[in-house]
Amino acid sequence: MSPVFVLVGPPGSGKSTIAAKLAERLGVPHHDTDTAIEADAGKPISDIFVDHGEEHFRRLERAAIVDALKDDQIVVSVGGGAILDPDTRADLAGQTVIFLDVSLGEAVKRVGLGVARPLLLGNVRTQLRNLMEARRPLYVEVAKLIVLTDNRTPDSIADEILEHL
């Protein structure tokens, strides 16, 4: 058994928003692994990074993903760096994975409006560009469908995903 959809993509691609929309349209629960990690740890991800470091966060993230992938009939959104783990990429090979793509300019705009991200401190544009360039092949590797999210409403993106899959 497996989730209906798993959404991957860089910070600012709209994973949580679109996953929530898809879950609503399908009438199934939405499971966001970053939210689950924060709930379990009792603190925000930025504090987990500061208190325990990125490696520790990645271990929690891997465990949260293993947990989420056990569930049937849910829509899962994962953090932007989840696909760095080769075991996670292997697990995602059997799933209906959607890569939410976004331009650098749009991602910078969206990230600027959201919560602080520990890997995007300092020059957000430069950090985000480096991270997007390095990870793009990994998002493409796991994706069954790639959807560009620039200048689109969550509803139109959800429509496209539901039409194709």
Of 3 and 80, the one with the shorter C-beta distance to ligand S3P is 80
Ranges of H-type helices in the chain: 15-26, 33-41, 45-52, 54-68, 86-92, 104-113, 124-142, 154-164
Least distance in angstroms from the C-beta of 163 to ligand S3P? 25
- Residues 49-68, interacting with ligand S3P (CB under 6 A): none
Of 1 and 115, the one with the shorter C-beta distance to ligand S3P is 115
How far apart CA 62 and CA 66 sit, in angstroms, is 6
Query: Known binder of ligand: residue 70?
Result: no
Q: Is 44 in the site for ligand S3P (CB under 6 A)?
A: no
Query: Known binder of ligand: residue 110?
Result: no
- What angle (nearest 5°) sits at the alpha carbon of residue 160, between those of residues 149 and 77? 60
Determine whether 113 is exposed, middle or buried from the number of CB atoms within 10 Å of its CB (0-12, 13-18, 19+).
exposed
Q: By rule CB under 6 A, what string of x and - marks binding of each residue 24-43 to ligand S3P?
A: ----------x---------
Least distance in angstroms from the C-beta of 71 to ligand S3P? 19
Of 27 and 137, the one with the shorter C-beta distance to ligand S3P is 137
